[in-house]
Chain A
Amino acid sequence: MAAVVSPTSLESAPRIMRLVAECSRSRARAGELRLPHGPVATPVFMPVGTQATMKGITAEQLDALGCRICLGNTYHLGLRPGPELIQKARGLHGFMNWPHNLLTDSGGFQMVSLVSLSEVTEEGVRFRSPYDGDETLLSPERSVEIQNALGSDIIMQLDDVVSSTVTGPRVEEAMYRSIRWLDRCIAAHQRPDKQNLFAIIQGGLDADLRATCLEEMTKRDVPGFAIGGLSGGESKGQFWRMVALSTSRLPKDKPRYLMGVGYATDLVVCVALGCDMFDCVFPTRTARFGSALVPTGNLPLKKKQYEKDFRPIDPECACPTCQKHSRAFLHTLLHSDNTAALHHLTVHNIAYQLRLMSAVRASIVEKRFPDFVRDFMCTMYGDPTLCPSWATEALASVGITLG
């Protein structure tokens, strides 16, 4: 049984979030994160570059799109190439030559995504490597140790993650264990001056458990909080209620990072609910399936209807793909034997996400966020009645009515 660690064992954590504007109706906020590798405007979408690369695109391309923070993954990088090598390469920033900010996930989510290869105890998560069958123990201490070697600007606690579709005592066990693991992470963190450790609120879809977790974790003076354990298989109705509950109990002067959320509608609604940071593999993954994101949804460019469509993906989009290439060209590339289209689409989809967040932020700063939301929903769904009911409810709960 781990020793009880004092919840205030951390000196006053840096206040990394500066609020620039707040929506007077909803809980939306615009702000700026002050991080070691430069400022980041919020709300922000962070693309996921799991293995020290954004799949298929260079650091220069990502920088040119305006990305100032992206993700790496502790579990994967911890296995290949390993923390010792990355440390020799001057940290993850040096290894992948990324000049801006990095956030590393702790490896907790892999407990769910790679559940058949993992086993959880109070000590940590035991993983069996799919590459060589070797067993590794990812404990809170080990996760922080790896992240200290990676040198990312924001590091995540190791949390005990259960799928949102799991019910029963396991959810409560995971919630309490996440609190204990948070304290162990805080104690193990060697570089609080250079790296910001975020807590992750758990509790599944149970309001009481979430509330307990919020109460306990907010006693710890960490630089930021993430809302975890959502964005799995749960219903959207339960999803938004847990997000809203969380933001209502999280401190205003610290960033709220909603993990695993990336669909455009979800982003807009969750900004309204008070979230500042988001990450998701969706835009980059869907690009590799030939799907381009647009304000009205998405274009499955492999389909025959795009064969002779010589328009760009989005005439309003300023990304290099839309400046140079047509849907028809991308369609042909998608049916060829090389990966060129995937790179072009990844560039565009990241551009789309970042542009969306920029537009959201501008509307908050200019005090017209509710109108922005209405316009966004109109473009996406056509008619207010066609907007998904969960989104309508969620927005209504924070004072934004559609139609």
Chain B
Amino acid sequence: MPESLLYCSLHDPVSPCPAGYVTNKSVSVWGVGGRVEMTASKFMAIQQALQPDWFQCLSDGEATCDEATSIKRARKSVDRSLLFLDNCLKLQEESEVLQESMIIGVIEGGDVMEERLRSARETAKRPVGGFLLDGFQGTPTTLETRLHLLSSVTAELPEHKPRLICGVSQPDEVLECIERGVDLFESFFPYLATERGCALTFSFDYQPIPEETLLQQNGTQEEGKYVDQTKKSKTTSCNREMTSFEINLKEKKYQEDFDPLVRGCPCYCCKNHTRAYIHHLLVTNELLAGVLLMMHNFEHYFGFFQAIREALKSDQLAQLKELIHRQAS
């Protein structure tokens, strides 16, 4: 994929990794082969092999893992991450192949304001290419409580460098973060929707023509009502539960639905196939189901981000936010 910008993150947002494996000298990641423990040198050796355009620096993201985040643990996450950053920057200087790559500094500090600010100010002093806001992932309610922290952190960061956030991908949460200065997000939300046999159908058309508004609202409300009845109330497993932004193609009601997933969607799936066909593929456990759903879900999700950019340019983010908020359960 020579045309793409390649970013290497530390962890896979959809694979939870056990906590308790960060030391002063190393961080562990998990893959198909098991646990891999990385010191700064080992980590940088891997980056030299991968040669990504950007990569997340080795960091200690476990300050928010426990229920009650202690100040001591928060402080340690900042200290360790800064030490890793300085070591990695030094190793980068000595590496010819990594001269074109950019290190993304990681802001840690748990839920402790003082530590978050320290992390932001100190990281910003280093020659990083951008910033990753770590430790804001979790359940929807935990993000809400951290929004204040988020604003304070981004206020300390230079305007001209990109701000990434990990673990946040749902449309409503994305908008909250954008309002508070975040620029880049991971796309695991459409991926998880695909894995559960769902198609993203939420509207991001904040400027529809009047008659369509009425129709869409009615349609959306119907979908929304149906989902509310069946949705489970617990919100623990982050992003694994079906949301109100999607429809579940396994449901019997789609068996004879010959509409595309989303009317007007330009993706391959919507241009060529029907809900009934996707339903059939899911029911018969066919591999093609995931292929088609993923194509649609990415198209839809990236379309949403296109709408965000347009809304920002024309100062209409509030309208878009209101539309999305209406569709959040």
Contact = CB atoms under 8 A, between A and B. Distances in A.
Nearest to A56: B287
Interface string A330-346: 00000111010011000
A329 interface: no
B46 to A, nearest CB: 15
A59 B281 contact: no
B251 to A, nearest CB: 14
Chain B residues touching A, majority SS: helix
Given A53-B281, A58-B268, A337-B32, A89 B287 contact: no
B272 A60 contact: yes
A136 interface: no
A51 B284 contact: yes
A51 B277 CA distance: 11
A350 to B, nearest CB: 14
Interface in A89-143: 89, 95-97
A67 to B, nearest CB: 15
Contacts of B277: 52, 89, 95-97
Contacts of A335: 32
| B contact residues, range | 20 to 34
B288 A89 contact: no
Contacts of B286: 51, 53, 55-56
A104 B274 CA distance: 22
B290 A58 contact: no
Residue of A57, A95, A335 with highest tally of chain B CB at under 10 A: A95
A81 B280 CA distance: 6
Interface in A304-345: 335-337, 339, 342-343
Contacts of B9: none
Given A52-B280, A85-B276, A89-B274, A58 B32 contact: no
Contact of B272 (A56, A59, A81): A59
B290 A339 contact: yes
Interface string B256-286: 1010000000001000111011001101101
Interface in B138-192: none
Contacts of A56: 286-288, 291
Interface of A: 51-60, 76, 80-81, 85, 88-89, 95-97, 335-337, 339, 342-343
Interface of B: 32, 255-256, 258, 268, 272-274, 276-277, 280-281, 283-284, 286-288, 290-292
